[in-house]
């Protein structure tokens, strides 16, 4: 003889089915952010974003409300160049946490001694201001953009700072 299912057993089975279906839909729409990691600091202006999930695009913004986002499309990988600053990112579609990362400024100059002068090149990640001195008196200023080079007198003392 077959045992008939009671109303409580039917409700329990439907509840389990509903929970399983909701979990499958949640996991299908959930995206996992891999890179850049939360709160990481870097001086590289080239940033690679990696994620796992169904979204084919990400949003990047300098505010957590994403009021003016940069949208990058990719198949779980996207690369872009950004200015130094703090940024937030998340996937464009589906469920995703919000991550924050920072690109720190780096004032770096390379110099090469030549016969009567010194060649100075900006190899950092921001434009720089060069202040030139000769025996404690100012002899000039120059702004060096990224990868720009300038020649100055051997007798000059130089102070480099972020523009």
Q: 3-class secondary structure for 93-134?
A: CCECCCEEEEECCCCCEEEEECCCEEEEEECCCCCEEEEEEE
Give the pLDDT of residue 78: 95
**Residues near 151 by Cβ (< 8 Å), separated by ≥ 6?**
114, 117, 118, 119, 120
Give the pLDDT of residue 128: 93
% helix, strand, coil for the chain, step of 5? 15, 50, 35
Question: So what CATH class is 31-103?
Answer: mainly beta
- Each of the 163 residues of the chain gets a pLDDT tens digit; together they read 556 667 788 788 888 887 776 666 555 668 889 999 999 999 999 999 999 888 889 999 999 999 999 999 988 899 999 999 999 999 998 888 999 999 999 999 998 988 888 899 999 999 999 888 887 777 888 899 999 999 888 777 888 888 7
The Cα–Cα gap between 74 and 56 comes to 5
Give the pLDDT of residue 80: 97
The segment(s) of the chain belonging to CATH 2.60.40 are: 31-103
The Cα–Cα gap between 29 and 18 comes to 17
Helix (H, G, I), strand (E, B) or coil at 47: strand
Helix (H, G, I), strand (E, B) or coil at 150: strand
| Residue 114 near residue 151 (C-beta atoms within 8 A) | yes
Give the pLDDT of residue 34: 94
């Amino acid at each position: 003889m077959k045992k008939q299912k009671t109303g409580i057993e039917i409700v329990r089975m439907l509840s389990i089915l509903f929970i399983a279906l909701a979990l499958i839909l949640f996991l299908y729409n959930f995206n996992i952010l891999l890179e850049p990691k939360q709160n990481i600091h870097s001086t590289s202006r080239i940033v690679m974003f990696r994620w796992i999930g169904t979204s084919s695009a990400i949003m990047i913004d300098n505010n957590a409300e994403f009021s003016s986002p940069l949208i990058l499309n990719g198949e779980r990988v996207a690369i872009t160049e950004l200015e130094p600053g703090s940024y937030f990112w998340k996937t464009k579609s589906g469920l995703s946490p919000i991550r924050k990362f920072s690109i720190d400024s780096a004032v770096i100059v390379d110099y090469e001694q030549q016969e009567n002068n010194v060649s100075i090149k900006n190899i950092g990640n921001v434009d720089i201001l060069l202040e030139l001195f000769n025996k404690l008196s100012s002899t000039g200023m120059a702004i060096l953009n990224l990868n720009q080079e300038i020649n100055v007198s051997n007798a000059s003392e130089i102070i480099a700072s972020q523009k």
